[in-house]
Structure 1
Amino acid sequence: MTPMTADHRPQMSVEEFEELERHAPESVWLEFINGKVVVKPMADGNHREIIAWLQRLCMQYRPDLWLHAESGLKTERYRKGRARADGVLVPVGGLKGQGEWSEAEAALLAVEVTSYDSDTHQRDRVEKPDGYAAAGIPVYLLIDRDDCSVTVFTDPEDGRYRRQVKEPFGASVKIPAPVGLTLETEQLKEFVD
């Protein structure tokens, strides 16, 4: 992967990235974050089970919404980034007519589950919250398998979430409006390697 140029210009345009991503093998997920191409690791079984757990809860308590797994979003200021969220919660039908990289306007919540790789800190704890906040996504939910915690980021303003609440696995985690859901997270303990 080529780093950004010395004068901090993106290594390629969004259009060039989308062309590259269209031709990438199916075993690789690419993202375009802060002007650089990032290879996102494939999800392991526990990672996929966490997303399925969250989908079931959303269906049970908010049947008017749907959590789409592995959904491409236009992120960052002026939609110059491309992030493949582990989950995106939208009103039912909210992605209708959208392409591979959906506009973020319909997204009420973006979800990331940490992976066991060297880039997870920078990607999931730093770059993704900033990109999702800049795109105006009201809530970012980080399920962190490294420290067995759930962090709810809210109140996006000027490319940052102004508020974060972090709870350990096992706690009741409140996700405020526009989602309006409380997660009982005891079961997440089962999905930590």
Structure 2
Amino acid sequence: MSAMAHEIPTQEDVVLDGFLALDTPLGFRAELIEGEIVVTPPPSGRHEHIIAEMVDQIVVGTDTPMHFSGNKGLRVESAGALSGNHVIPDGTFAPRELSLFRDAESWMPCAGVAMVVEVTSQRAEIDREAKRRSYARSGIPLYLLVDREKGKATLFSEPEGDDYTTAHSGPFGKEIELPAPFKMTLDTSDFG
């Protein structure tokens, strides 16, 4: 009689399974970031105002027509041996011609994503550090961080390894140049 071998799940597997089985309250977002389950309450009006201002500008000003999603789950790379991160950026932009969101799973890969956006809220350090590194590891070309606490916007570009090699920051009110495929100037004067 042969014994069946059973794999013992790792702690990371247990956390991932638990995360994927979560029944998050309506309006809340649950993300798995570097092995930690992070649940975020619905955003404030100021947070959503910044997203709306940015989307309005990009939709009419971008060189390449873009699709936008404010709730798209992305599977992004995590550090070391941890299971992949599952994040929901405040904004995800992809070239319209790719129709990335049309048939995407709840948690889609990031191939084809042109830019992700985060507007800081209660746990700003996650947006500043863990998410930035995950987006870079995943090869997302542009990451726009709107840091409400610091009153500035930073565009990270040229991902390499665990981080972006280029960052352009400015206080709210200063314009930010979005490179190709956007090729436009983003006005941040109404972000504050």
* Global fold match (TM > 0.5): yes
Measure the CA separation in 1 of the matches of 2:113 and 2:91: 10
In structure 1, the gaps of 5 or more residues are: 1-7
**Which of 105, 109, 126 is matched with 2:115 structurally?**
109
Secondary structure of the 1:85 match is coil
Identity fraction in percent: 30
**Which of 102, 124, 142 is matched with 2:127 structurally?**
124
After TM superposition, the structure 1 = structure 2 runs for residues 75-86 of structure 1, keeping only pairs within 5 Å, are: 75-77=76-78, 80-86=84-90
Does residue 72 of the first structure (1) align with residue 73 of the second (2)?
yes
Displaced runs of 4 or more, over 6 A: none
In structure 2, the gaps of 5 or more residues are: 1-9
After TM superposition, the structure 1 = structure 2 runs for residues 14-163 of structure 1, keeping only pairs within 5 Å, are: 14-20=16-22, 23-62=23-62, 64-77=65-78, 80-92=84-96, 93-115=99-121, 117=122, 119-121=123-125, 123-163=126-166
- Match of 1:111, as an amino acid? V
Cα deviations by residue, 1:38-93 (Å, 9 ceiling, x for unpaired): 11232111111111111111110126102211221111149711011000001222
Secondary structure of the 1:59 match is helix
2:187 corresponding residue in structure 1: 184
Confirm or deny: 8 A CA contact 1:58 1:66 kept in the other structure. Answer: no
Structure 1 residue 112, shift from structure 2 partner? 0.3
Structure 1 residue 11, shift from structure 2 partner? 7.1
- Match of 1:106, as an amino acid? G
TM-score between both structures, scaled by the size of structure 2 = 0.85
Aligned length, in residue pairs: 177
Measure the CA separation in 2 of the matches of 1:152 and 1:34: 22
Confirm or deny: 8 A CA contact 1:79 1:135 kept in the other structure. Answer: no
Tell which structure's C-alpha radius of gyration is larger.
2
Measure the CA separation in 2 of the matches of 1:107 and 1:158: 17
- Match of 2:56, as an amino acid? R
Measure the CA separation in 2 of the matches of 1:14 and 1:179: 35
Output the aligned Cα RMSD.
2.0
Measure the CA separation in 1 of the matches of 2:83 and 2:89: 15
Secondary structure of the 1:128 match is helix
Structure 1 residue 14, shift from structure 2 partner? 3.0
Measure the CA separation in 2 of the matches of 1:79 and 1:177: 32
* Bigger Cα displacement from structure 2, 81-90 vs 36-45: 36-45
Measure the CA separation in 1 of the matches of 2:95 and 2:180: 13
- Note closer, same or farther for the CA distance 1:188–1:89 as it changes in structure 2 (3 Å cut): same
TM-score between both structures, scaled by the size of structure 1 = 0.84
Secondary structure of the 1:10 match is helix
- Note closer, same or farther for the CA distance 1:16–1:154 as it changes in structure 2 (3 Å cut): same
Q: Which has the higher contact order (CA 8 A, sep 6+)?
A: 2
Measure the CA separation in 2 of the matches of 1:73 and 1:181: 25
